[in-house]
Structure 1
Amino acid sequence: MVQQLSDAEDCLFNIVIVGDSFVGKSKIIERFTKNEFSYESPATSGLDFRTKTVQIEGKKVKAKIWDTSGLAKYRAVNYMHYRRVDGAVIVYDVTKKSSFENSKTWLREVRTHARSDVVVMITGNKCDMRYPREVSKEEAKRLTDKVGALFMEVSAREAVNVEEAFDVLLAGICRGRMSREEEEEE
């Protein structure tokens, strides 16, 4: 759902970040929005959001990023917000195979509850951790190619590819919006 803003921003995109507990969803958001990383922070309970305005393809885009809890008891809260999002980031931990396997469930949930035009990125966090890596980049890329999702590995701790991941996601959302507007004009 795109909202027009004042002259300060050209548009607002809502993005939801989902994934198992303790994969680093909040840390990725903290790195992107504040360029900070702290080892100490409580687990997200319920839903929270942060914003950041960036330049994407010549436009000032405000990203409103919804941070979700990975706990099952908050899933119903997550579902309610899926319908309003333009993009979804599904995060797994490259050192936890189970979180990667569960990313398929998260993807099903997003595709079931979000609009059909939502742009999805599957993101492997903690790529700075070489050992004990349990999910190879190639394995993750095969999955994302198969399901038609964007893919990026990041490290919130080391600030690797976090900014780039959001730039790619937001550019995908912008392109999708422009093509929909062109179709509507025809």
Structure 2
Amino acid sequence: MVSTEGEVNFSFKLVILGDSGVGKTNLLQRFTKNIFSLATRSSMGFNNDYKTLDIEGKTVRAEIWDTPGQDRYRAMLNPFYRGAVGALLVYDLTNAETFTNLQKWMKEIKNYGESIETVLLIGNKSDKEEERNVKQSDAMAFAQKNGIAYIETSALNANNVDKAFEIILTNLVKNKTSNIPAPAPPKLDVEGKSKKIGNEEHRQFDDTVRKTCSCSLL
């Protein structure tokens, strides 16, 4: 829910990551301005915007950075991780290469995103289901392996866009209000099965996601 009055309780910096052309800029513009442009070009620099919302009874100000996905900008990304507590990792579900490259982005988050507490995997362009080239089961498996949540969105028709941002912000607010560290990713046994996480807050977040959005979460 958008908040327009009152003092801000929490401010969170988020970064949107992923290959060029996956729809990062349109996701940002849809969330902050409720607009979509078919003429949007791949980001040639760094863009940011803000939105204030009511999350869990708290007024939250989200500072969101849209980062370029081209390799030539990768060396410039490091400073933009500084202070970021949440990352939205986006791929294009019609483009298998953007999904394959997610592992590279996860490695970068682990190497440079020391302050990042939570990551949300987003399969964008769900309006192009007939052109899908990434199975939902594969995306769910990737999310489970990395201990992150997963949702599919469409910046074109706004499906699940607000919910995606609300999910990650809700997790951050709960981490703050409960005064506990962000949950660690689940450990996998030799068969690839998820072991018990042992963190009640993470389980509560899972429940919140299932209740508030039509998304796939592992």
TM-score scaled by length of structure 2: 0.77
1:20-39 superposed matches below 5 A: 20-39=19-38
Q: Give 2:84's aligned amino acid.
A: V
Between the aligned partners of 1:146 and 1:95, the Cα distance in structure 2 is 22
Q: Which residue is equivalent to 1:52?
A: 51
What is the aligned length?
A: 177
Q: 1:111 offset after TM fit, Å?
A: 1.5
5+ residue gaps, structure 2: 182-218
Please list every run of at least 4 consecutive aligned residues from structure 1 whose deviation after the TM superposition is greater than 4 angstroms.
none
Q: 1:162 offset after TM fit, Å?
A: 0.3
Between the aligned partners of 1:25 and 1:148, the Cα distance in structure 2 is 22
Q: 1:116 offset after TM fit, Å?
A: 5.4
CA deviation vs aligned residue, 1:51-80 (integer Å, no higher than 9, x gap): 001111000101100000001111122111
Q: 1:181 offset after TM fit, Å?
A: 5.6
Q: Which residue is equivalent to 1:143?
A: 142
Q: Give 1:108's aligned amino acid.
A: K
Q: 1:117 offset after TM fit, Å?
A: 4.7
Q: Which residue is equivalent to 2:104?
A: 105
Q: Which residue is equivalent to 1:74?
A: 73
Where relative contact order (Cα < 8 A, 6+ residues apart) is larger, the structure is: 1
Q: Give 2:51's aligned amino acid.
A: K
Q: Give 1:81's aligned amino acid.
A: F
Identity of aligned residues (%): 37
Between the aligned partners of 2:92 and 2:116, the Cα distance in structure 1 is 26
User: Is the Cα contact below 8 Å between 2:52 and 2:59 reproduced in 1?
Assistant: yes
Between the aligned partners of 1:168 and 1:147, the Cα distance in structure 2 is 17
User: Is the Cα contact below 8 Å between 1:19 and 1:106 reproduced in 2?
Assistant: yes
Root mean square deviation of aligned Cα: 1.6
Q: Which residue is equivalent to 1:166?
A: 165
Q: Which residue is equivalent to 1:94?
A: 93
Which deviates more from structure 2 when the two are superposed, residues 144-153 or residues 112-121? 112-121
SS of 2:8's partner is coil
